[in-house]
Structure 1
């Protein structure tokens, strides 16, 4: 056997051994942390649509939540177990029964809603921010439906909802969202996960 062939065979053996070691000795990837999050907001704010799109579910499967539902929403660095509560008037009064065990809050509002509905959303957010079981948790506030002509900007929402005085010292993010731009939705959820991990993240962001 020529020296060239012997060298080639040796290199092949080394390559096969390296592949074998990589396959046999590589342990399972470390588990992603999981966080239990409650998602609230008035009816038609878009909670179900946003969560379903994050889970890559088809639009034909999206139906409004009438009671509550739980979705495991995967992200590269974490899994959010999101408990979505329906926003109908006859359900809102029971929201507080589902707050226990939550590690974060997602509040979704329709930024293009009527003034009356926006005022109702404001009242519900204020109530959640001051609730004993939620007041110390990080909040992700989504001004949804930004693709609609009547949508108010996040800065307008921030001013109208008086977030600066009410949420001072709390960990919260306010961001405009739309199901038409899911990359932006995923990015803001990634920022929210940093708050859940309690890393060196500013207490408020808009």
Structure 2
């Protein structure tokens, strides 16, 4: 009997590997891409500076690993975003929901461009309305209406959620929904 107990406890073998997905993370400078990804990777938030080119992080979740290629959002970098789209299986778009009207319009234009880009238009999108902890933050419904997501993203698989580095559990839940979209490649398009 002891042998069976020992075998059950010690000889299970390694756990099955988690699926990995390659995703691209885009958004304007200051939207909070680097901060969110650093927090998800349990890295310190001291000394975070905007990404000036691109960075790659393996972000672990219980049911998957996301290999996130974060692209800097400065004007001189945005024009090269499309060079990094190839091979992506999903898109994370981060916007500053508390930004000025001018910056929100620029973010809207970039999201519209990404949703229509030939290499991205069939991929699932996670749209994070970041900085929800700021007083001037727009709600997700305000963002959805302003960005015209209903008509523009019709027929696509997408999730729009509010986010903040102060509420990491909610961010993880948003990524969980996104991972579900990545897993369900053959399902009907949906929106949340």
User: Shorter-chain TM-score: which interval?
Assistant: over 0.9
> Are 1:204 and 2:182 matched, yes or no?
no
Query: 73, 78, 81: which is aligned to 1:87?
Result: 73
Counting only pairs closer than 5 Å after superposition, residues 1-206 of structure 1 correspond to structure 2 as 14=1, 16-198=2-184, 203-205=190-192
Is the 8 Å Cα contact of residues 194 and 201 (structure 1) preserved in structure 2?
A: no
Is the 8 Å Cα contact of residues 156 and 189 (structure 2) preserved in structure 1?
A: no
What SS class does the counterpart of residue 65 from structure 2 fall into? Answer: strand
* TM-score, with structure 2 as normaliser: 0.96
* TM-score, with structure 1 as normaliser: 0.90
Is the 8 Å Cα contact of residues 144 and 150 (structure 2) preserved in structure 1?
A: yes
Deviation beyond 3 Å, 4+ runs, structure 1: 199-202
What SS class does the counterpart of residue 38 from structure 1 fall into? Answer: strand
Corresponding residue number in structure 2 for 1:9: none
Residues of 2 paired with 1:58 and 1:201: CA distance?
Answer: 39
Larger Rg: 1
Change (3 A) 1:161 1:101: same
Residues of 2 paired with 1:65 and 1:201: CA distance?
Answer: 35
Superposed displacement of residue 62, structure 1: 2.5
* Unaligned segments of structure 1, at least 5 residues: 1-13
What SS class does the counterpart of residue 88 from structure 2 fall into? Answer: coil
Normalized per residue, the structure richer in helix is: 1
Residues of 2 paired with 1:130 and 1:167: CA distance?
Answer: 9
Report how many aligned residue pairs link the two structures.
191
Is the 8 Å Cα contact of residues 155 and 189 (structure 2) preserved in structure 1?
A: no
What SS class does the counterpart of residue 164 from structure 1 fall into? Answer: helix
Is the 8 Å Cα contact of residues 129 and 160 (structure 2) preserved in structure 1?
A: yes
